Amino acid sequence: MTDTDRSGSLPNQPYVLHLPEGESGALFLDSPHSCTQYPADFGYDAALPLPLLRQAEDTFVDELYAGAPARGIPLLCAGFPRSYLDANRGLEEIDEKLLDAPWPDAKQETSKTRLGKGLVWRVLDTGEALYARKLSVAEVQARIREYYVPYYAQLQQLSDRAVARHGHVFHINCHSMPSQAAQYATEHPGIAHPDFVVGDRDGTTCDKRFTDRVEGLLKDMGYDVWRNHPYKGVEIVRVVGRPQENRHSLQLEVNRKLYMDEAGLAHNAGFVTLRRNLEALMDELSRFAQAA
């Protein structure tokens, strides 16, 4: 894909859904931040270098899990980039410093909005402003209506379909993280990340046995795995994960250094090995989900 493609020569869709040819199992995945195509109406600061803007992406995460449908696992990928609209933030996480008028709907200040990283980002992880202008309320509402709402509707549909077929659902919310947290990325700037972080919002979004299984499998592969620090899971696992209704959702962060050149945004020598290990993980989790 060329830089021209990324800057909006092709129309964006709210999501791309990759379904198995046969019946889907009780496990599904989503990748909300891996889109590399930038909407024509983004209107970010023209002086902002595209490679810097692209640091916000979970680049190649969709490729890492591309083997999911062949294993009976649906894979949902957002069709809009994270810096345009962050699908893993709540609708109330509005940063009014970015707007040209008061927000008319519910809003909530959070640690992320204080960092300028709410539903619509004001700054990048490294602190650069995304816009040389204020955004109108109408354009933010349009992003929510055209992208966020359909994405969450599809998440709900996948969850409902699995429950209807199998009586339960297990979901992995797939992300990547830089090898070291940038200044405006999290509440823990500068932290050196492990290979993986599993997040279940302190045990509230899935059966602990699922979290244990994911963590254990990754550790058996030789990876350094942390739980709920520094990423507990955010809006998607909160919405999808309702263990009391047999709906289990887990956020999984993978360190980018394992599979890519973080500055050059290219595969590194570890990409094939990591993808193979994630395919083995999917195979084991698919069996876990069917037997639960």
pLDDT per residue over 214-270, tens digit each?
999 999 999 999 999 999 999 999 999 999 999 999 999 999 999 999 999 999 999
pLDDT in the model for residue 284: 98
pLDDT in the model for residue 188: 73
Which residue positions in the chain have pLDDT lower than 70?
Answer: 1-10, 183-186
- The number of folded domains in the chain is 1
Cα→Cα distances 4→7, 95, 255, 278, Å: 5, 29, 28, 31
pLDDT in the model for residue 7: 41
Provide the CA 139 distance to its chain's centre, in angstroms. Answer: 22
123 contacts 184 by C-beta, under 8 angstroms? yes
Of the candidates 85, 31, 27, 19, the residue with the CA atom closest to the CA atom of residue 62: 31
Q: Is 16 in a helix, a strand, or coil?
A: strand
118 contacts 110 by C-beta, under 8 angstroms? yes
Domain CATH code at residue 181: 3.40.630.40
pTM of the model: 0.95
* CB proximity list for 146: less than 8 A, separation 6 or greater: 14
Total residues found in the chain within this entry: 292
Strand order in the sheet with 75-78: 15-18, 75-78, 27-31, 169-177, 247-255, 196-199, 225-227
**Burial track 263-290 (b if 16+ CB lie within 10 A, e otherwise):** eeeebeeebeebbebbbebbeebbebbe
What tokens were used for 80? 């809009």
pLDDT in the model for residue 185: 65
pLDDT in the model for residue 291: 94
- Residue 192 belongs to domain spanning: 3-291
pLDDT in the model for residue 6: 39
